[in-house]
C-alpha cells in the first residue's frame, strides 16, 4: 500500500482521479467552480450549525464528513492511524481561524483556487501569487527553526471524537430539519448527499495515501526542490482544465467569474494569509482534515479554528463579497472585503508574523 503513490506519475494520476471526482460533484449539483472547496464547505457547515446566520451559505456538507472519515478509515485499514496531541493546540486553533479569514476574503481555499484557475478565473491566478508568497514567507521561518513542538501519543478515543461527531451531525442533517439549510445561493446548490459522501470518502482516502496538500506542494518545491506533491495538484488541474475546455466552461478573465471578486490586493493578501498559516500549521485546510482523520487531535483543533473563523467571517462581515453585474433592479457590485474584513485580515497577517517569530529556535533534533 505504501508503494501506491511512490512515483510522480502515480501521484499525477491520483490528482486526475481527484479532479474527476470534483467534476462529478459539480455536475450533480455542487456550485460549478466551487465543487469541493474545503473552506466554503466548512463555512456552509458553520452556517448549518447556526454559528453564523448568512442565509445563502448554510448546509451540513457531507463532503467534510467524507474527507475526515475517508482518511480515518483508510488510516485504520493500513495501520497508519495514530492518535496524537499536544503540539501547540491553541496556536493551531488560531492558525485555522486565520486560514479561514484569508480564504473567505479571497473566496476559496487553495483547492478552490485551483478549481477557479482551471475555469479561467484570472483572479485566482492573482490569488496564487499571494499564496506562493505566503508559503515562501513560512519557508523562511522554517529555515530559521520554526516549530510548534512535538505531538505525543494519547488515548485512541481522542482521534475518534471528530469523525464520530461529524457522522452524528450528518445523520441529524439527513433525518431532521434541526440544522439550517439554504434555500438559495451556494448553500442551496448541492450534489445528492449520499453521492457527495461516497465521493468525499474516496477523495479523503486518496488524499490520505498520497499526502495531498496544496501548501505542501509549493513548500516542498521551495525548500527541497521536491515536485512530488505538486504533481498531484498538476493532475487535478489538468483534469479540471480539460473538463472546462471540452464543455465550454473555460472563460478567461477577471470579470463575470462566479463567486469571485477582482480586488487584486485583497485576493493576494487573503491567499498570502492562507499560505503563510498553512506552512506554520503543517498543511492546508484539506490536509488538516486528513490529518484529523488519521488521529491528530491538533489538526482537529485546527478544524475547530476553521469552523469558528467561518462563523466570525460571516457574523461580522469579514468575508469578501462576490462581484456582480448590474441588473434591472440592482446596481453592479465590485465585491471584495469591506473595511472590517480588510482590517482583520491585516491584523491576522501581523499575528502570523508574531507566531512565526516567537516559535523559532535553532533546529535541534534532540529537543
Partner 1 sequence: MSQYIEVDVRGLSCPEPVMLTAAALKDNPGKALKILASEAHVRTNVEKLLKSKKVEFTSSEVGSEYEIVTK
Burial of 124 (0-12, 13-18, 19+ CB in 10 A): buried
Contact 78, 176 (CB under 8 A): no
Strand partners, 324: 333
Q: Which residues bind partner 1 (CB under 8 A)?
A: 2, 6, 78-80, 82, 84, 86-87, 142, 147-153, 211, 213, 216, 219-220, 223-224, 226, 228, 281-283, 363, 365-366
Write down the least CB distance from residue 14 to partner 1, Å: 14
Write down the least CB distance from residue 212 to partner 1, Å: 11
Write down the least CB distance from residue 314 to partner 1, Å: 29
Residue closest to 107 by CA, chosen among 349, 336, 348? 336
Write down the least CB distance from residue 362 to partner 1, Å: 11
Contact 360, 141 (CB under 8 A): yes
Between the alpha carbon of residue 128 and those of residues 33, 50, 70, 261, the distances in Å are 16, 31, 28, 14
Q: Which CB, 87 or 244, lies closer to partner 1?
A: 87
Q: How far apart are CA 28 and CA 174, in angstroms?
A: 18
Q: Which CB, 226 or 250, lies closer to partner 1?
A: 226
Q: Which CB, 124 or 356, lies closer to partner 1?
A: 356
Q: How far apart are CA 362 and CA 347, in angstroms?
A: 27
Q: Which CB, 99 or 115, lies closer to partner 1?
A: 99
Q: How far apart are CA 209 and CA 219, in angstroms?
A: 19
Q: Which CB, 233 or 323, lies closer to partner 1?
A: 233
Q: Which CB, 190 or 219, lies closer to partner 1?
A: 219
Q: How far apart are CA 288 and CA 75, in angstroms?
A: 14
Write down the least CB distance from residue 276 to partner 1, Å: 15
Write down the least CB distance from residue 323 to partner 1, Å: 36
Write down the least CB distance from residue 21 to partner 1, Å: 21
Contact 352, 98 (CB under 8 A): yes
Q: How far apart are CA 348 and CA 351, in angstroms?
A: 5
CA distance from start to end of the chain: 33
Strand partners, 247: none
Proportion of the chain in helix, strand, coil states, percent, rounded to 5: 65, 5, 35
Write down the least CB distance from residue 7 to partner 1, Å: 11
Q: Which CB, 226 or 237, lies closer to partner 1?
A: 226
Q: Which CB, 175 or 365, lies closer to partner 1?
A: 365
Residue closest to 5 by CA, chosen among 19, 22, 17? 17
Amino acid at each position: 500500500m505504501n508503494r501506491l503513490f511512490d512515483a510522480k506519475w502515480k501521484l499525477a494520476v491520483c490528482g486526475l482521479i481527484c479532479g474527476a471526482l470534483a467534476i462529478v460533484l459539480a455536475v450533480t449539483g455542487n456550485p460549478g467552480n466551487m465543487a469541493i472547496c474545503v473552506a466554503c464547505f466548512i463555512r456552509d457547515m458553520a452556517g448549518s450549525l447556526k454559528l453564523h446566520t448568512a442565509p445563502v451559505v448554510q448546509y451540513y456538507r457531507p463532503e467534510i464528513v467524507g474527507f475526515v472519515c475517508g482518511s480515518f478509515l483508510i488510516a485504520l485499514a493500513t495501520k497508519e492511524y495514530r492518535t496524537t496531541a499536544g503540539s501547540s493546540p491553541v496556536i493551531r486553533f488560531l492558525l485555522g481561524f486565520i486560514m479561514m479569514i484569508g480564504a473567505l476574503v479571497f473566496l476559496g481555499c487553495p483547492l478552490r483556487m485551483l478549481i477557479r484557475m482551471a475555469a479561467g478565473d484570472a483572479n485566482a491566478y492573482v490569488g496564487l501569487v499571494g499564496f506562493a508568497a505566503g508559503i515562501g514567507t513560512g519557508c523562511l521561518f522554517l529555515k530559521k527553526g520554526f516549530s510548534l513542538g512535538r505531538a505525543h501519543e494519547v488515548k485512541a478515543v481522542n482521534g475518534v471524537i471528530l469523525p464520530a461527531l461529524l457522522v452524528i451531525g450528518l445523520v441529524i442533517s439527513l433525518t431532521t430539519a434541526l440544522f439550517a439549510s439554504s434555500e438559495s445561493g451556494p448553500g442551496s446548490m448541492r450534489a445528492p448527499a449520499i453521492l457527495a459522501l461516497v465521493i468525499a470518502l474516496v477523495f479523503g482516502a486518496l488524499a490520505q495515501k498520497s499526502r495531498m496538500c496544496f501548501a505542501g506542494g509549493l513548500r516542498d518545491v521551495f525548500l527541497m526542490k521536491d515536485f512530488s506533491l505538486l504533481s498531484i495538484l498538476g493532475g487535478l488541474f489538468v483534469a479540471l482544465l480539460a473538463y472546462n475546455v471540452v464543455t465550454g466552461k473555460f472563460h478567461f478573465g477577471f470579470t463575470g467569474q462566479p463567486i469571485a471578486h477582482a480586488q487584486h490586493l485583497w485576493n493576494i493578501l487573503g491567499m498570502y494569509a492562507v499560505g503563510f498559516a498553512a506552512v506554520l500549521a503543517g498543511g492546508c485546510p484539506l490536509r488538516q482534515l486528513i490529518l484529523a482523520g488519521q488521529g491528530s487531535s491538533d489538526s482537529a483543533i485546527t478544524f475547530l479554528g476553521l469552523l469558528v473563523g467561518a462563523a466570525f467571517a460571516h457574523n461580522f462581515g469579514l468575508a469578501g463579497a462576490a462581484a456582480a453585474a448590474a441588473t434591472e433592479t440592482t446596481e453592479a457590485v465590485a465585491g471584495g472585503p469591506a473595511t472590517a474584513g480588510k482590517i482583520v485580515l491585516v491584523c491576522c497577517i501581523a499575528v502570523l508574523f508574531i507566531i512565526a517569530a516567537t516559535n523559532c529556535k535553532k533546529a535541534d533534533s534532540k529537543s
